[in-house]
Amino acid sequence: MEMSVRTHGTLVQRRARARPVRRTAGIDDPIGNLSRAAHRRPGGRPAARGPHNPAVILILYAHPHPRRSSAGRTLLDGVRDLDGVTVHSLYDAYPDFAIDSAAERERIGAARLVVWQHPLYWYGVPALLKLWWEQVLVHGWAYGDGGNALSGKDCLWVTTTGALPDAYSDNGVHGHPFEVFVPPVRQTARFCGMNWLDPIVVHGAHRLQPEALRAAASQYRSRLAAYVERHG
């Protein structure tokens, strides 16, 4: 079994022992059931989604199963302690999908690099991140007349797939090279005036042994640490 990490345009493959694969129709990274537990104050009121500290790098983590994804958790554990890095888990913050758009614009506006990290779902992004795009990246703020709030910022896409690289080919189960599924995410960033950085793609994520996941996390950490060093 091969594990592959694509970073800076290079595909790195590592040997990983096979694990049983749980199939979920349409989901390329089947991890577990959606956790609906929200962060709450005593008395059951949702925790405030208010002021936050500026960050050089803001990681918008969009995994519907944030506590059950070994791949997502390992990648985040590799970078969350870096100075200048803030992790914002959308499914933890908005289990009801009621996005505080104003707070999100303030949060993303303070960052120099925005990271969209998520598992690949139906050849794209999970539902909450798609909704976040629709409600946060609005006309007059992110694009269109006067919409230059994100202009000049950098964007890094970090995604995991359940399938191995050969599944993304003309003869593979997904019918196309992986690069065919990149443009919608890339163009979302570019349409908002952001600079698109070479993405990090971890293939076969939920099949990997811990040491292989840690190797991917180490590459992720190196990318972000170098960015903070240049821009922090």
Q: What is residue 218's predicted lDDT score, i.e. its pLDDT?
A: 95
Q: How many CA atoms lie within 13 A of 88 on its CB side?
A: 28
Of these ranges, 10-14, 122-126, 173-177, the one predicted with the greatest mean pLDDT is: 122-126
What pLDDT, in 10s, does the model give residues 120-134?
999 999 999 999 999
98 within a domain of the structure (yes/no): yes
43 within a domain of the structure (yes/no): no
Q: What percent of the chain has pLDDT over 70?
A: 77
223 within a domain of the structure (yes/no): yes
State the residue range of the domain holding 95.
2-14+52-231
Angle at 196 (CA atoms; ends 158, 198), nearest 5 degrees: 50
Q: The CATH number of the domain where 102 resides is what?
A: 3.40.50.360
Task: Please give the tally of structural domains in the chain.
Answer: 1
Q: State which H helix or E strand residue 147 sits in.
A: none
Q: State which H helix or E strand residue 219 sits in.
A: helix 210-231
110 within a domain of the structure (yes/no): yes
24 within a domain of the structure (yes/no): no
Q: In three state form, how does the secondary structure of 23-47 look?
A: CCCCECCCCCCCCCCCCECCCCCEC
**CA distances, 131 to each of 43, 60, 180 (Å):** 29, 13, 22
20 within a domain of the structure (yes/no): no
Instruction: Report the C-alpha gap between 131 and 133 in whole angstroms.
Output: 5
35 within a domain of the structure (yes/no): no
Instruction: Show Cβ contacts of residue 79 under 8 Å, excluding neighbours closer than 6 positions.
Output: 59, 85, 87, 217, 220, 221, 224
What pLDDT, in 10s, does the model give residues 42-57?
333 333 333 444 579 9
